[in-house]
A = this chain, B = another copy of it.
Amino acid sequence: MEYPTESIKNVVEALSKLPGIGKKTSLRLTLHLMQKSPQEVEELATALYNLHKSTFRCKNCNHLSDQEICNICNDTKRDSHLLCVVEEVGDLLAIEKTGYFKGRYHVLGGKISPLEGIGPNQLSIPQLIKRIQTEEIHEIIMALSTTQEGETTAFYLSREILSINPNITLSHIAKGIPSGASLEFTDEITLSKSLIHRSQYSTLNSINS
């Protein structure tokens, strides 16, 4: 497609590299930006310029932070014996949003994927091993995606962790029917797993929980 100007073409092409944004959406966004004041567009450009300049990876857990050690690792009120392993920062933020988790995290930065050439050393797994050797961790919760690659990563990590410290409790977040879902439209694997991992009602009160 021919664009009215070179600078429009550059923005369309740069925006269309973002996930979920095709050339058509990208053009619509660019034309929208042309209707905005130059100041507003520069504000976005400046924010992008500064993104990598003041955001780093936490040396401890690989979370994003503006300091060497992130707020979560620095928070002495959080349970340092409980560690939650996630793939990406987005997963960490999703868990934080629930407000239910009071331990610390370790962000792998992806999952093991031999097809894409991602092994343990491409992820922050060596740092995790080091943490297990040096910190006093009692339980590690795997909060990885329930895909083939996620399960492979969890299996690899479990074996590594237990070979270092067999006394650590390993757990994974519950797999089952999501809240608000109808059984009829739930896939067979999820449904069979939710039957296998069924929970017993301990008291009458827990029926509604």
Contact = CB atoms under 8 A, between A and B. Distances in A.
Interface residues of A, number: 54
Contacts of A41: 48-49, 51-52
A31 B89 contact: yes
A93 B27 contact: yes
Contact of A7 (B5, B11, B34, B53): B53
A49 B8 CA distance: 11
A196 interface: no
Contacts of A53: 7, 38
Contacts of A97: 1
B19 A54 contact: no
A171 interface: no
A204 interface: no
A6 B66 contact: yes
Contacts of A5: 54-55, 64-66
A49 B41 CA distance: 7
Contacts of A19: 28-29, 32
Contacts of A30: 51
Interface string A106-141: 000000000000000000000000000000000000
28 contacts: A1-B93, A2-B96, A4-B63, A4-B70, A4-B89, A5-B54, A5-B55, A5-B64, A5-B65, A6-B54, A7-B51, A8-B51, A10-B47, A11-B48, A11-B51, A14-B47, A17-B40, A17-B44, A18-B29, A18-B32, A18-B33, A19-B29, A20-B25, A30-B51, A33-B48, A34-B52, A41-B51, A44-B48
